[in-house]
Every structure is written in structure tokens, then in C-alpha cells.
Chains A and B, each alone.
Chain A
Amino acid sequence: RKEVEQDPGPFNVPEGATVAFNCTYSNSASQSFFWYRQDCRKEPKLLMSVYSSGNEDGRFTAQLNRASQYISLLIRDSKLSDSATYLCVVNLFSGNTPLVFGKGTRLSVIA
């Protein structure tokens, strides 16, 4: 079983739509969770951290379910500029330790 699993997509949605991605992780001892965004031929960049209580940043909402070991990302009112690959990321430990990346979910927002 892979450590972090995501639906690769692609998700093709019209502008203004709401889209949700889920991700599951295998290690129940995982300490911290993130969503990174990666544009085509660019480096991954942190989109948002994911907290147990859930958190929101503008049109983006992230949630964590530790019992079921899944993480979600909700994007409301999709923009063309949201088109990218969204990487679910888990840190198995605290501190400066390596991140474990999912392979990503590709989103295309269409005009």
C-alpha cells in the first residue's frame, strides 16, 4: 500500500465550480499534513497546511480526518488560474524531516 494515495484525475471543471480532492495516508502516526500546488514544469509550492480542526484560506478549505486517515481539499468558485496539480503531503515525524508526497491530482478549470 502506498503511503499517500490520491486520485490522479484529471478533474475538468468549469469556471465557478466547486471541486473537492481527497487523499488517504497509510501511517496512522503521521504528524503533519499539507497541500502543495505544482504548476506545469514548475516546483511544488505550499498551498496550505491542514489542521485537525480544519482550516480555510479564501476559496480553499482543507480538512483532516485522523480516524479515517484522509485529507481533503475543497476549492470553491474555481478560477482558470487554479489549474494545476495538487499534491497531498504528509510528514511522518515532527521537525525538519522529509515530506511524503502523493502523486498529485490534476485539475483543469475550463472557461
Chain B
Amino acid sequence: DAGVIQSPRHEVTEMGQEVTLRCKPISGHNSLFWYRQTMMRGLELLIYFNNNVPIDDSGMPEDRFSAKMPNASFSTLKIQPSEPRDSAVYFCASSSIGQVVYQETQYFGPGTRLLVL
């Protein structure tokens, strides 16, 4: 079975450019999470969706960040304009409600390594 798919795997861009990160969750999963990981701050939640609806975007750093989930199999995270401090690894994860509701496993994609110069 395919896991969570993210693209691109690596992105190098210049400050001020628009960056779009893409995620395809595991088929059948109904929750999708975007995380960002840096050495200084570790893994931080940016936003998450349940059944394609954004539930909590309080982790989005500022208005330069936006995320969409137009259908159950695709989500994007956009940064416009990008800044050097956005350099990080961005992970997408998905999960589904199981029989034991408090023990759902989140499956992570391989991440997108973003470097903003």
C-alpha cells in the first residue's frame, strides 16, 4: 500500500517566491495534518483537516501561509511570499478514526525539505 505521498521532496527557492507543497494522504484516511520541523522548535502543528474541513489553523505562522484540502486525496500548503525563516522540513500526516478512538496512528509522509535563500 502506498503511504502518504509528498512533493516535492526538496525545494530551494529565493526569498519572496511562492512555494507550494503537496500531499496525498493514505486512501481512506479522513484526517490530514501539516507539521513543520526545525532544530530549534522541533515538530510543530501548522493546521489539520477532518473530512477535508480545516479544524484548527492556529499553528499557521502568519498570513503568508495557507492550506487547502479540495478533496479527500489531496492537500496543499502554500507560502507566499517565502522568507528564509520558513526554511524547515514540512511533513504531512494522515490518520483515520479507529475502533479505539484515542489510539489512532498518524502516518507521516517523507517530508519536503524547504530552503529559502
Binding site for B on A (CB under 8 A): 31-32, 42-46, 49, 87, 91, 94-104
Contact B97 A101 (CB under 8 A): no
Kindly list chain B residues whose C-beta atoms are within 8 Å of the C-beta of A99: 33, 45, 106
- Interface size of B by CB at 8 A reads 25
Cα–Cα, bound, A103→B43 (Å): 7
The answer to whether B56 touches A94 (Cβ under 8 A) is no
- Contact status B102-A96, CB under 8 Å: no
| B interface with A by C-beta (< 8 Å) | 30-31, 33, 35, 42-43, 45, 48, 50, 56, 91, 95-97, 101-111
A96 touches B43 (CB 8 A): no
Contact B108 A49 (CB under 8 A): no
- Please measure, in the bound complex, the distance between the C-alpha atom of A100 and the C-alpha atom of B59, giving whole angstroms: 12
The reply to whether B45 and A96 contact each other, CB–CB distance below 8 Å, is: no
Task: Check B43–A98 contact: CB distance below 8 A.
Answer: no
